[in-house]
A and B are shown apart, each in its own frame.
Chain A
């Protein structure tokens, strides 16, 4: 036990004296998260649009001057080529849209806006049709009134010359029904309700849980892996092995020593996200901390395991594209439901996948323990497997003990 504590104390001293590492562990994730927050949390920008051939168009009211610049066809073409506008709309019949096209997200924004305007265009044509219809009806009503006038005069004439026939006709005539009054169509409105989150939930809120996992994993992986690698390359591990320390004490000493910094790191990171960047969070901070904490243990134990396969720091960092990058893509930042089955299977082997799921459940869906215990358990199993493998690896290089 005291060997374990000596191990842990040494690691704590090492990190405390190495200010750069300490900064990397705590300040770097904050900086990057802030950057990501600006990128994904910012309001989506408005597309720059223009219209041409609008002079004689009835559709002009749908394209407000504040949204659409008025241009001549030549100007618009040039502006599009210079990327000054994302698209222009040709209001000649039929209406045509010309897109700049090189950036899919800008295309999407432009099309979104234009389609909204096109809805207005349809409204305009509907009201136009309504007014045309009304005037047709009014004309017909006038014609009917004129006929009724004639009929009245004919009735008067009949009363004078053939009253008996008139009575017979009046009896046989069907009773006119009162015409139903035209009713204004009811306005259809959309009522949106959210099971989780609300309409102010932006991309960063959805990315946040995955981001926390990725950064904690990345930094612990780098620092833990290099730290254990140095233990082997400088020969201090040999010295440890020529001492009475037990194999599990070496590995668990690492876990405890780093664990302290992990607690501090995840606490600062989580508080920064929730209180400073105000990421959407309906769950409890304690639950978030527990998941981040468990995740970093799996990062640490995995990095120690992989450091045995590396001969120097460079080789350790070569694991990042292999171990970290696929986790970033399969972690839940991007939807993976449509991927081939074998890719999904790989995703299921990745610790960050589980932390993202658990953190989304906690922060966005607000589920309590029931929502994350399974993911947490999987992460613990990951760590235990890696730790056991580590102990066996050390045992293999220590034949006599």
Chain B
């Protein structure tokens, strides 16, 4: 078993505010890991540190069992909380650009773009300008841009926010399909019904990883109905 992402004893402060306080996290290959917690709990910061977009004040990060390098990014798909698209370009031009900087060329690139567009249900809209896209379409195109180079590891920051339930279900089907092909996925969310679809979840609250395990284990361990209730139990214990 290999560990695509490993973070050990991560600390991060923004000025005086402690965002992450001794967070350790290891992902197993081929799992969907849900990072859940209220807004401001530090989910996005944790993802950015694992990616190497931000530097932790202390602690170690390993990608694919080595210090992160530029070439590690080739096997990594990142989707930020913002859509991170070029509004002036068409959907196709956006995907074409991200595919190019990930090293895809020629026919393979074109084929791959059509494939991911179909995966997220945008194959009819490739020629449209992104500026005309609805919020949901933008979100899906952003996801497609993270998928286009077939990475082994996905870091997806709230990929389904603002999507209607039908599309959300399709996207989760896609995640399961990607996992079946061996990909590892880390997803942040605060939609609780998505939690049950994860293999493991980590509960992040005020910069601490307060609990970790499969949804089933957690509900049994804390003797509650849903994973959401674990937060309440933990908060209650603190108070």
Contact = CB atoms under 8 A, between A and B. Distances in A.
Interface of A: 2-3, 6-7, 9-10, 13-15, 17-18, 234-236, 238-246, 397-401
Interface string B203-216: 00000000000000
Contact of B84 (A13, A17, A239, A246): A239
Contacts of B70: 244, 246, 401
A248 to B, nearest CB: 12
Nearest to B71: A244
A308 B97 CA distance: 23
Contact of A6 (B69, B100, B145): B100
B53 A18 contact: no
B151 to A, nearest CB: 10
A164 to B, nearest CB: 126
B51 A244 contact: no
B223 interface: no
A242 B105 CA distance: 19
Given A10-B97, A400-B52, A244 B102 contact: yes
A100 B71 CA distance: 76
Contacts of B90: 17
A235 B83 contact: yes
Q: Which 10 A-B pairs have the closest CB atoms?
A: A400-B52, A6-B100, A399-B55, A235-B84, A235-B82, A242-B78, A400-B68, A14-B88, A235-B80, A10-B97
B145 A239 contact: yes
Interface residues of B, number: 38
Interface of B: 48, 51-55, 61, 67-71, 73-74, 76, 78, 80-90, 93, 97-98, 100-103, 105, 129, 145, 155
Nearest to B69: A401
12 contacts: A2-B100, A234-B85, A236-B84, A236-B85, A236-B86, A242-B155, A243-B73, A243-B74, A243-B102, A397-B53, A401-B69, A401-B70
Contact of A238 (B68, B78, B86): B78
B86 A14 contact: yes
A236 B82 CA distance: 9
Contact of A244 (B73, B85, B88, B93): B73
Contacts of B82: 234-235
Contacts of A234: 82-87
Contacts of A236: 84-86
A244 B103 CA distance: 8
A16 to B, nearest CB: 9
B87 to A, nearest CB: 8
Contact of A242 (B69, B76, B87, B88): B76
Given A17-B89, A234-B85, A243 B101 contact: yes
B80 A239 contact: yes
B93 A10 contact: yes
Contacts of A398: 52-53
